[in-house]
Amino acid sequence: MPATGALLARAFDHHQTGGFEEAEALYRDVLQSDPANSEALHRYGLLIAQLGRLEEADLLLVHALVLEPADAEAAVNHAKILRALGRPDRAAHRFRHALSLSPTLLAAQEGLGHAERERGDEPAAAGAYGRAALLGAGAALLHRWGMALDGLGRSEDAVAALRRSAGLDPTVPSVAARLAAILCRLGRHDESAWWYRRMLVLQPGHAEARHARTVIAGRSIGKGDGPIQA
């Protein structure tokens, strides 16, 4: 029988290229000969999660992390599986474990934000999203951060985060819509109208945006001012 390392490499290659049945058989062979192989447990757990067997994947990742508790990547992947199982409390705990090992790990910081939001702790979610943004998060995460800030009543901070999101990806109608709504609440009607127009470019049939733009125009004739840069 090939050495464990060679078997694991073959299993991972099949896993990466969609040969899931072959990968599963090889992961099982590795674990039969080396039951305490934490990397095999981790990779096999990820495969099982992809196949929809989340409870089994949870057990495999728990075992892997008992054997190798300093594996930040395995901790993040376990947390993602826990989120998929609808267990945000355990997921948040595991993401914090990953961050204790690697404080600048973006996937862990972003994941913690999602888990805290799912737990209903919006201040904690906003904090985690903000830390992720400092690590270089993309447009989708900045959008989520902006929504969390808006939910906490931090409108100006929300506007700044959402503008950054729109700067990275100007094609998302929901970002333009949220910006327009917040700016309207703040009484900045020209800017709000600009973002509603932007939303209608992206999503021409959106009746609410069309109506809001009309209402704003009745209050203050928009001069076509673009968004102020964050």
What are the pLDDT tens digits along the chain (230 aa)?
457 888 889 998 999 999 999 999 999 999 999 999 999 999 999 999 999 999 999 999 999 999 999 999 999 999 999 999 999 999 999 999 999 999 999 999 999 999 999 999 999 999 999 999 999 879 999 999 999 999 999 999 999 999 999 999 999 999 999 999 999 999 999 899 899 888 888 887 665 655 555 555 555 444 444 454 43
What fold does the segment set 149-230 form as a domain?
1.25.40
Cβ 23 vs Cβ 47: under 8 Å: yes
Contact 115, 107 (CB under 8 A): no
Rounded Cα–Cα distance for residues 90 and 96 (Å)? 10
Q: How many residues does the chain have?
A: 230
Domain ranges within the chain, ordered by starting residue: 149-230
| Tokens representing residue 209 in the block | 């945006």
